[in-house]
Amino acid sequence: MGLYRATVGGTRYDFADLRTVMACASPRRSGDELAGLAAESDAQRMAARLVLADLPLRAFLDTPLVPYESDEVTRLIIDTHDGAAFAPVASLTVGGFRDWLLSYAADSAALAALAPGLTPEMVAAVSKLMRNADLIAVAAKCQVITGFRTTLGLPGRLASRLQPNHPTDDPAGIAASTLDGLLFGMGDAVIGINPATDNVGACVTLLEMLDAVRQRFDIPSQSCVLTHVTNSIEAINRGAPLDLVFQSVAGTEAANAGFGISLSLLGEAREAALSLRRGTVGDNVMYFETGQGAALSADAHHGVDQQTVEVRAYAVCRAFKPLIVNTVVGFIGPEYLYDSKQIIRAGLEDHCCGKLLGLPMGVDVCYTNHAEADQDDMDTLMTLLGVAGVTFLIGVPGADDVMLNYQSLSYHDILGLRHLLDRRPAPEFADWLARMGMSDAGGRLPPLDASAPALRRLLASGG
């Protein structure tokens, strides 16, 4: 007989431990089914949610899902928990916490003050009791502001990552794609390249090229080459003009070891980037990427469902005060998120949970070509995230990444969403667009033809 039990439709369901409750309470997900963790029926799923709704929030402090002794991410979560910040909700159950999050009392100031008192497991638990509309409503109330050369997360703003990838890392091709994106107002969150190679010399070449473009056009933004953290440290040692340190992270020590990282290594990288003092409006120098299923694919999930492990990754991010965090929601494939329903749900979960923990969350609205999804589904997720106040979205030329071979959003998509929802780029970047003659008096970017002054000015300067 399990410690956790509930009756649904006359059938009693027993759950052996808290990990089982969390996994069975999750919305249907192909990754959890692959791992053998998912509920066997909708009735069992509902029973798990009933158990979860009555569970005190503080139970997650008393019962770690991953052992404290063997996992440094768990130790980070427990040892940095802010009891004073947690006090306002300490007496609540998970169900009561959901109701409070949706109340008028949970405004932006209250949520910001609460964030250090929440653990990933508490946040993952409450998200399992929330419908999509709840996830949007709560996330829209969270305000997380960070800065480097632009200020991100302000109300009424929607930033973007310009992703000018190239299959051979050709600097001229990347520079051309960068100029294309700038003409659509992209790049205020970051101009970020996924390199085709891990060669440090090639990484330095791209960093120098991006920095030259930034300085030539006096662009108030930050650049990043999304290489391994050890390469970034080596690039700094070689004197490269590095703005942000990038790293993919996961929610367990074992999964992070698979990425070749540890918390101490991330700390070393952050200190190296801070020593360069390249920021002008802030010192948030880290850029993290995450995604549901990463720990399962590394067989390092400890029997914890993939969404909860994903939220644990946000505890890693939070410890290093990042400028941006991005969940690459559909990139891992249908083995983990089978179709558009699962991808859309996961994108909203990740965004809301990250914001509740105090992170500047962006989303790569994307899918692989063998997933049951298409660009209409990306339109839906993009729009929902815009309403939910997403910090930034990622755009690639034509929505088709020619290096990583997956489908994302285009520059046009993000520009259209800004117009639809009346969202502006980061203030420093919006001012630059106006100075360059690329936006009109209303802050809109009009379509450009070949004779447009802004286009001729950029091309002439770029020549």
Known binding positions for adenosylcob(III)alamin = 195, 247, 297, 403
Cα–Cα distances in Å, from 82 out to 7, 66, 90, 113, 267?
35, 20, 11, 10, 20
Say if CB 6 and CB 50 are below 8 A apart.
Answer: yes
Residue list for the binding site for substrate: 161-163, 194, 289, 364
User: Which helix H or strand E contains 190, and what residues bound it?
Assistant: strand 190-193
Give the neighbor-by-neighbor strand order of the sheet with 361-364.
223-225, 190-193, 159-162, 392-395, 361-364, 324-328, 286-290, 245-248
Which residues participate in the annotated binding site?
A: 161-163, 194-195, 247, 289, 297, 364, 403
Q: How far apart are CA 390 and CA 346, in angstroms?
A: 14
Give Cβ neighbours of residue 425 (< 8 Å, ≥ 6 apart).
Answer: 157, 158, 159, 160, 185, 188, 418, 433
392: helix, strand or coil: strand
Cβ–Cβ under 8 Å, residues 235 and 208:
no
E strand residue ranges, 200-333: 223-225, 245-248, 286-290, 324-328
**Distances in Å between the alpha carbon of 334 and those of 34, 293, 353, 373?**
11, 10, 22, 9
What's the CA angle centered on 141, arms 139 and 144, to 5 degrees? 80
What is the spatial distance between Cα 293 and Cα 427, in angstroms, rounded to a whole number? 35
